[in-house]
C-alpha cells in the first residue's frame, strides 16, 4: 500500500518535497459489544489490516487529498471554515480530523495526501477509526507536533461524532492508536485506563466477513445509544456501567420490555468482558470461548443487533471441533464474526464457512481472514521515496 499511495501522490499532485508515510490498523473486538459508549469495558485487538497515508508538505494552507480506493479527490483550506462535503462522504473524515485538531489549538500545515487501505469497509472492523488515526499522525507529525495517542483517539471520536455524524464510542480510535503486537487491550472506557493481555502464540484470531453490509449511520446503532441512555436515566446513574446485575434484577420489572433487554445486555456484557480478560490472562481459552458464545447470545436476544445470516454463521463457527468460541463483532446488523481457535483448527474452520455458509446463505459470500494482533498507529519509515 505504500507504493500505491506513493504512485497516487506523484501522479495526482506532483509534490516537490518527498512524502512521509503513516499507517493505523483496523481492529476486531474480541468481547465487549456496545459497552464503550456506556462507560464500560471492551477487549479489542488491533489487526494486521491498515490504512496508509502518504503526506507531502505544501507551501500554503491547502489540504489536497486523493483516496486511491475511491478514485476520488477533495481540497480544502485550513484558514477557511471547514464544513462537511456533501458530494464526498469519505472526505468528511479528513476534513473532520483537521477541524478538530485546529479547534484543539494544534498547528497544521498544507499537505498533499494520498490514502489507501485494506481494512474491509462496512464490515465492522473500524476502517473509519483506522483512517482517522493515520490522518492524525500525518497532520501532526508532518508539522513536527508530538503525538499523545489517547488525545488523538479522543480527537478522532470527536470528529466522527460531531463532524461525520456517527455516534461511536471511544474503543475504535483507542485500540487503533494504542494497539500492541500479540496482545489484546482491556480498556476501561470511562477512565481510558488500559491493560495489555497476551494472546497465546498458538491461538488464531479468525475474522469472517459475512458479506452482509450495513451502513452504521443509517442503522439502528444510534437508537441503541438512546435506549441505553434512557435505561441509565431510569436507574439514576450516569451510564449503565454503574448498574450491577443485582440492582438490575431487583428493578427490571419496572422497565419496558425493550429497555429491559437493552440494559441486561450491557450490564451482563461488562461482567463477561472482565471475566473473559481474566480467563485470557490465565490462558483459560475454554472459559474465554464460553464468554464469547454468551456474548453473541446476548447480542442476538437482548440487544437485537444480529441478522439471520450472522446467527447462522456464528452457529457454523461454534460447531467446528476445537473452536474456543465465536460471536458477531462490531456495531451489528451485518459485518463480521470473530472466533478464537487453535492455529491447527483454522483450515477446518475455513472449510466449514466456505461450504456450509455458502449453501445456507446462498445470497452471500463469506470471506475468512486469519489475523494477528498488531501494533497501533505510527509512522512508516520508507527508504526510497524519490520523486
Specify the CATH number for the domain of residue 97.
3.30.230.10
Q: Clarify whether residues 73 and 88 are in a common domain.
A: yes
Domain boundary among 175, 193, 211: 193
The residues, any chain, with a CB within 8 Å of residue 261's CB and separated by 6 or more, are: 301, 302, 303, 304
Euclidean distance between CA atoms 78 and 373, whole angstroms: 36
Give the pLDDT band (50/70/90) at residue 217: very low
Tell me whether residue 114 is in a domain: yes
pLDDT of residue 218: 56
Euclidean distance between CA atoms 370 and 131, whole angstroms: 22
Active site residue 218: no
**Residue 165 scores a pLDDT above 80:** yes
Q: Clarify whether residues 218 and 234 are in a common domain.
A: yes
Q: Which of 74, 172, 209, 302 is catalytic?
A: 172
The CA distances from residue 89 to 13, 16, 85, 92, 361, in Å, are: 21, 29, 6, 6, 31
Tell me whether residue 239 is in a domain: yes
Q: Clarify whether residues 52 and 88 are in a common domain.
A: yes
Cα-based torsion angle of the residue sequence 348, 272, 248, 223 in order, rounded to the nearest 10 degrees: -60
Tell me whether residue 380 is in a domain: no
Q: Clarify whether residues 32 and 181 are in a common domain.
A: yes
Euclidean distance between CA atoms 277 and 196, whole angstroms: 10
Euclidean distance between CA atoms 140 and 231, whole angstroms: 39
Q: Clarify whether residues 66 and 171 are in a common domain.
A: yes
**Residue 18 scores a pLDDT above 50:** yes
Count: domains in the chain: 2
Q: What is the largest CA-CA distance in the chain?
A: 68
SS3 175: helix
Tell me whether residue 377 is in a domain: no
Give the pLDDT band (50/70/90) at residue 212: confident
Q: Clarify whether residues 177 and 216 are in a common domain.
A: no
Euclidean distance between CA atoms 10 and 76, whole angstroms: 19
Q: Clarify whether residues 170 and 279 are in a common domain.
A: no
The residues, any chain, with a CB within 8 Å of residue 3's CB and separated by 6 or more, are: none
Tell me whether residue 279 is in a domain: yes
304-318 confidence digits (pLDDT tens): 999 999 999 999 999
Structural Rg of the chain based on CA atoms: 21
Q: Clarify whether residues 219 and 323 are in a common domain.
A: yes
Map grid coordinates 479522543 to a residue. 154
Bigger pLDDT: 360 or 294? 294
SS3 206: strand
Euclidean distance between CA atoms 385 and 88, whole angstroms: 29
65-109 confidence digits (pLDDT tens): 999 999 999 999 999 999 999 889 999 999 999 999 999 999 999
Half-sphere exposure of 142 (CA within 13 A, CB side): 27
pLDDT of residue 386: 59
**Residue 221 scores a pLDDT above 70:** yes
Q: Clarify whether residues 180 and 269 are in a common domain.
A: no
Domain boundary among 145, 162, 193: 193
Question: Strand 20-31 relative to strand 194-198: parallel, antiparallel, unpaired?
Answer: unpaired
130-156 confidence digits (pLDDT tens): 999 999 999 999 999 999 999 999 999
Whole-structure pTM value: 0.92
Q: Clarify whether residues 9 and 99 are in a common domain.
A: yes
| Domain that residue 62 falls in | 2-193
**Which ranges of the chain would DSSP assign to H, the alpha helix?**
2-13, 91-103, 127-141, 149-159, 171-178, 221-235, 245-251, 257-281, 285-298, 308-319, 346-352, 358-360
Tell me whether residue 381 is in a domain: no
Domain boundary among 171, 193, 215: 193
Specify the CATH number for the domain of residue 278.
3.30.70.890
Give the pLDDT band (50/70/90) at residue 333: confident
Tell me whether residue 101 is in a domain: yes
235-277 confidence digits (pLDDT tens): 999 999 999 999 999 999 999 999 999 999 999 999 999 999 9
Q: Clarify whether residues 13 and 138 are in a common domain.
A: yes
Tell me whether residue 360 is in a domain: yes
Q: Clarify whether residues 240 and 169 are in a common domain.
A: no
What is the chain's mean pLDDT, rounded? Answer: 95
Amino acid at each position: 500500500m505504500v507504493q500505491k499511495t506513493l504512485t497516487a501522490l506523484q501522479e495526482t499532485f506532483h509534490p516537490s518535497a518527498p512524502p512521509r508515510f503513516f499507517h493505523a490498523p483496523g481492529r476486531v473486538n474480541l468481547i465487549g459489544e456496545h459497552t464503550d459508549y456506556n462507560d464500560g469495558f471492551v477487549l479489542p485487538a488491533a489487526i494486521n489490516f491498515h490504512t496508509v497515508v502518504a503526506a507531502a508538505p505544501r507551501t500554503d494552507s491547502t489540504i489536497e487529498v486523493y483516496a486511491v480506493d475511491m478514485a476520488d479527490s477533495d481540497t480544502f483550506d485550513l484558514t477557511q471554515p471547514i464544513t462537511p462535503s456533501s458530494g464526498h462522504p469519505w472526505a468528511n473524515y479528513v476534513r473532520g480530523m483537521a477541524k478538530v485538531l485546529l479547534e484543539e489549538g494544534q498547528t497544521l500545515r498544507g499537505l498533499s495526501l494520498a490514502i489507501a487501505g485494506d481494512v474491509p469497509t462496512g464490515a465492522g472492523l473500524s476502517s473509519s477509526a483506522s483512517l482517522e488515526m493515520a490522518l492524525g499522525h500525518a497532520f501532526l507529525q508532518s508539522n513536527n507536533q508530538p503525538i499523545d495517542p489517547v488525545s488523538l483517539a479522543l480527537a478522532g471520536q470527536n470528529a466522527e461524532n460531531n463532524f461525520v455524524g456517527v455516534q461511536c464510542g471511544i474503543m475504535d480510535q483507542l485500540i487503533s492508536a494504542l494497539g500492541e503486537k500479540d496482545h489484546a487491550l482491556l480498556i476501561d472506557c470511562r477512565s481510558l485506563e488500559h491493560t495489555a493481555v497476551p494472546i497465546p502464540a498458538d491461538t488464531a484470531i479468525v475474522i469472517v466477513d459475512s458479506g452482509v453490509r450495513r451502513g452504521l449511520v443509517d442503522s439502528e446503532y444510534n437508537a441503541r445509544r438512546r435506549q441505553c441512555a434512557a435505561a441509565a436515566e431510569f436507574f439514576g446513574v450516569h451510564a449503565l456501567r454503574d448498574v450491577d446485575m443485582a440492582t438490575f434484577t431487583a428493578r427490571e420489572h419496572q422497565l419496558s420490555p425493550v429497555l429491559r433487554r437493552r440494559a441486561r445486555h450491557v450490564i451482563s456484557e461488562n461482567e463477561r468482558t472482565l471475566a473473559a480478560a481474566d480467563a485470557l490472562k490465565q490462558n483459560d481459552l475454554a472459559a474465554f470461548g464460553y464468554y464469547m458464545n454468551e456474548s453473541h447470545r446476548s447480542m442476538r436476544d437482548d440487544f437485537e443487533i444480529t441478522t439471520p445470516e450472522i446467527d447462522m454463521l456464528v452457529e457454523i463457527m461454534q460447531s467446528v471441533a476445537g473452536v474456543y468460541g465465536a460471536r458477531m463483532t462490531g456495531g451489528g446488523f451485518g459485518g463480521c464474526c470473530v472466533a478464537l481457535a487453535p492455529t491447527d483448527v483454522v483450515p477446518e474452520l475455513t472449510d466449514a464457512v466456505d461450504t456450509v455458509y455458502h449453501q445456507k446463505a446462498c445470497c452471500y459470500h463469506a470471506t475468512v481472514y486469519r489475523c494477528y494482533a498488531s501494533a497501533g498507529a505510527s509512522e512508516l519509515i520508507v527508504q526510497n521515496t524519490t520523486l
